[in-house]
Structure 1
């Protein structure tokens, strides 16, 4: 929980601006008051700022609107409450709270002019509020009593989760009695009365017993209780603040850290798996080359022979030949050992068509080509015939047709 800046937006936007800085334990680090165009210390403007709106400037009410759409609700609120308000609804700002168990929405109403003037002053000070809540809703909430705070000549009273009112000292007793009568069976058993000075004399006649408690620093006390999750944030609609409240994100920091760690581990696992696959592919490639060398030890370019073989197999798999590649592999397996026996003969080429393998050879003599043909014919499962043989200046060129026999 970071240090927080609390600003008290009083009744007069041109009047004194009281402020407090709280530490992580909600203890006051610094306090001050700005008059006129005085500015805050520069280091304080970086702290998350919460504004407490004067209770006398905020009307807390309830509204019943027959819709669950928040957008339609905000549009209908001014007209649904028009009969309850003395001012023109176009001059007022409506902030929506929560819905109670009876279906009524909590609503906070404030004058636009007052809010505009405060926002302009804060902007000139380089301050952007993250939240602006009524000071009335900073009072503690209990089921068996109401809470009232008297300070600076004013009184604020919290009567419910999102309900309360403000008054001056002279009218407090009258308004308390009216609120108790309106509450009926839901009226509290007593009123907790926090005060920073002498109590008004007419409070002794209040219908409920009072439990007075003296406070030395009411603003410090309000600031320390300004985190109530039920408090209505006035910064909605036209006054919404689009900046992200980091304190709201903080509870998710651990989840985000775990997600990042998981992504790092997953990425590392994928990299290792990719490396392993590359190694397996390289080993497989080496095994293919070794097999080709065993079958064709006289070949001068084994990689080229492999490429030609793969190309041809692709053609066969596409339908070029009745055996679709299986006959070629079996034929090569059968003739490979025989070709290896005679190192004087060199394989210079081959072709596969219609189940027949034609191989081109080079040797020292025609007898070598003929002998190889006889050896192939003597082997089980294959037959061979010399298609052509010619003698050149330095070597003999021969062509053999090899096919698998039915025996």
Structure 2
């Protein structure tokens, strides 16, 4: 089962790489089924590692969440479709949206929308510090680093807001994230309530997440947020910390965050392979396959030798029977012998008149005991070696009995010109040597 560990550091955020042992984290551990297996608030790194160790977990996917204001959301209008050209044009496409030297900024590419490519921009030095903070944790493999606000569940055609103490995380339906002081939400609400043009527009849906305690403490702010008439505000109570909301939205694909671990800060090289648990079985299967192929090849070579020996023995027997035949070889000896057998079968001598009369009379005696069979005329052709008898019988079965009896003696017997009459059947029996 694949586990995923969501880790969110607590303030202060000034130096992410400073004193990592004393830094505090909120964290939640999800299993593959989406169930929370463990969680903690304000714990040091060793406490989290001890929990993983006690549960015997390894290769847990680590997802690090950094403050949303650490990374800037941008849109890049790039007509290219190949990733190589997109990465080349990306700095120029977002340069005007960033207030610092573009060479000092790390750019992470997100999904392509009708507005363009979604891009996350973060200072390279800060990204290096965050990467160092989340790297090297025992029992885990770093999978991604996201701005925390980007993991909020999105509201269609509106905004999602999560109260988090003195700050608030926000995300729009197009994936744009923001982090600001909670006291400034009223000003932000007035900005959203101002129509972009004179056209008639629908209300903007706003979903506010927070604990019941935060709702009570922020009543004045919520009232200010609901004052503009164009905003449709709905509150969603949280029973636990905001991190669980973020982890739930990410696990169930309710958000579209941008992974900051790309390009120079990619962690793909350190990601555990999904085939790692199967490597011993794969090795055994590979050895078995090699052994099986070798065995099949050996058996094939053995049977080939046996076939060659049998062909040689067959040729030796053939040479003894036909010593003068030099054209026959192991490849055509079977065909030659079959042809000779056919010729031998067709060279039998034809039977003469006396022999044919002998066998025909014998069958006549066997069938005509009751006087039901009569020979009207007998003709013999020496050139064709055929005896033709005009025979009459009480039924066709009697004629057939004579023919079958002659065929049983090895002769060729046929009945033709059969005529069925009231008194019986008559026909012409032709007998020749088999």
Q: TM-score, normalised by structure 1?
A: 0.60
Q: Structure 1's 45 and 89: CA in aligned 2 closer, same or farther, altered over 3 A?
A: farther
Do the aligned partners of 1:62 and 1:106 also contact (CA within 8 Å) in 2? yes
Q: Structure 1's 327 and 76: CA in aligned 2 closer, same or farther, altered over 3 A?
A: closer
Q: Structure 1's 222 and 202: CA in aligned 2 closer, same or farther, altered over 3 A?
A: same
Q: Secondary structure at the match of 1:26?
A: coil
Structure 1 partner of 2:368: none
Structure 2 partner of 1:40: 49
Q: Structure 1's 246 and 39: CA in aligned 2 closer, same or farther, altered over 3 A?
A: closer
Rounded Cα–Cα distance in structure 2 between residues aligned with 1:91 and 1:182: 36
Q: Deviations over 1:308-356 (max 9, x none)?
A: xxxxxxxxxxxxxxxxx964759xx9xxxxxxxxxxxxxxxxxxxxxxx
Given the alignment of the two structures, is residue 193 of structure 1 paired with residue 217 of structure 2, yes or no? no
Unmatched segments (≥5 aa) in structure 2:
334-434
Do the aligned partners of 1:10 and 1:54 also contact (CA within 8 Å) in 2? no
Q: Structure 1's 187 and 40: CA in aligned 2 closer, same or farther, altered over 3 A?
A: farther
Structure 2 partner of 1:374: none
CA displacement at 1:9 relative to structure 2: 4.2
Q: Deviations over 1:73-115 (max 9, x none)?
A: 333333332222223323321111111124x110111222322
Rounded Cα–Cα distance in structure 2 between residues aligned with 1:267 and 1:141: 56
Do the aligned partners of 1:55 and 1:165 also contact (CA within 8 Å) in 2? yes
CA displacement at 1:7 relative to structure 2: 1.1
Given the alignment of the two structures, is residue 123 of structure 1 paired with residue 135 of structure 2, yes or no? yes
> What number of residue pairs does the alignment pair up?
297
Rounded Cα–Cα distance in structure 1 between residues aligned with 2:148 and 2:196: 22
Q: Deviations over 1:286-318 (max 9, x none)?
A: 232243155359xxxxxxxxxxxxxxxxxxxxx
Structure 2 partner of 1:54: 67
Rounded Cα–Cα distance in structure 1 between residues aligned with 2:329 and 2:263: 76
Q: Secondary structure at the match of 1:72?
A: helix
Task: Give the aligned CA root-mean-square deviation in angstroms.
Answer: 4.1
Q: Structure 1's 328 and 6: CA in aligned 2 closer, same or farther, altered over 3 A?
A: closer
Structure 2 partner of 1:6: 6
Q: Structure 1's 116 and 220: CA in aligned 2 closer, same or farther, altered over 3 A?
A: same
Rounded Cα–Cα distance in structure 1 between residues aligned with 2:326 and 2:202: 93
Structure 1 partner of 2:311: 287
Matches within 5 A, 1:286-305: 286-293=310-317, 295=319
Q: Structure 1's 275 and 165: CA in aligned 2 closer, same or farther, altered over 3 A?
A: same
Structure 1 partner of 2:27: 19
Q: Secondary structure at the match of 1:117?
A: helix
Rounded Cα–Cα distance in structure 2 between residues aligned with 1:177 and 1:244: 46
Structure 2 partner of 1:223: 247
CA displacement at 1:34 relative to structure 2: 3.8
Which residue, out of 149, 154, 158, partners 1:141? Answer: 154
Do the aligned partners of 1:146 and 1:158 also contact (CA within 8 Å) in 2? yes
Q: TM-score, normalised by structure 2?
A: 0.57
Rounded Cα–Cα distance in structure 2 between residues aligned with 1:244 and 1:163: 29
Q: Secondary structure at the match of 2:183?
A: coil
Q: Structure 1's 326 and 142: CA in aligned 2 closer, same or farther, altered over 3 A?
A: farther
Rounded Cα–Cα distance in structure 1 between residues aligned with 2:326 and 2:192: 96
Q: Structure 1's 68 and 221: CA in aligned 2 closer, same or farther, altered over 3 A?
A: same
Rounded Cα–Cα distance in structure 1 between residues aligned with 2:122 and 2:189: 22
Rounded Cα–Cα distance in structure 2 between residues aligned with 1:87 and 1:75: 19
CA displacement at 1:186 relative to structure 2: 8.2
Rounded Cα–Cα distance in structure 1 between residues aligned with 2:302 and 2:164: 77
Rounded Cα–Cα distance in structure 2 between residues aligned with 1:60 and 1:148: 16
Structure 2 partner of 1:110: 122
CA displacement at 1:220 relative to structure 2: 1.5
Which residue, out of 227, 237, 250, partners 1:205? Answer: 227
Rounded Cα–Cα distance in structure 1 between residues aligned with 2:203 and 2:128: 37
CA displacement at 1:39 relative to structure 2: 7.0
Rounded Cα–Cα distance in structure 2 between residues aligned with 1:36 and 1:267: 49
CA displacement at 1:189 relative to structure 2: 4.0
Q: Secondary structure at the match of 2:169?
A: strand
Structure 1 partner of 2:266: 240
Unmatched segments (≥5 aa) in structure 1:
298-324, 334-407
Rounded Cα–Cα distance in structure 2 between residues aligned with 1:79 and 1:160: 26
Q: Structure 1's 101 and 267: CA in aligned 2 closer, same or farther, altered over 3 A?
A: farther
Q: Structure 1's 188 and 81: CA in aligned 2 closer, same or farther, altered over 3 A?
A: farther
Which one has the largest radius of gyration?
2
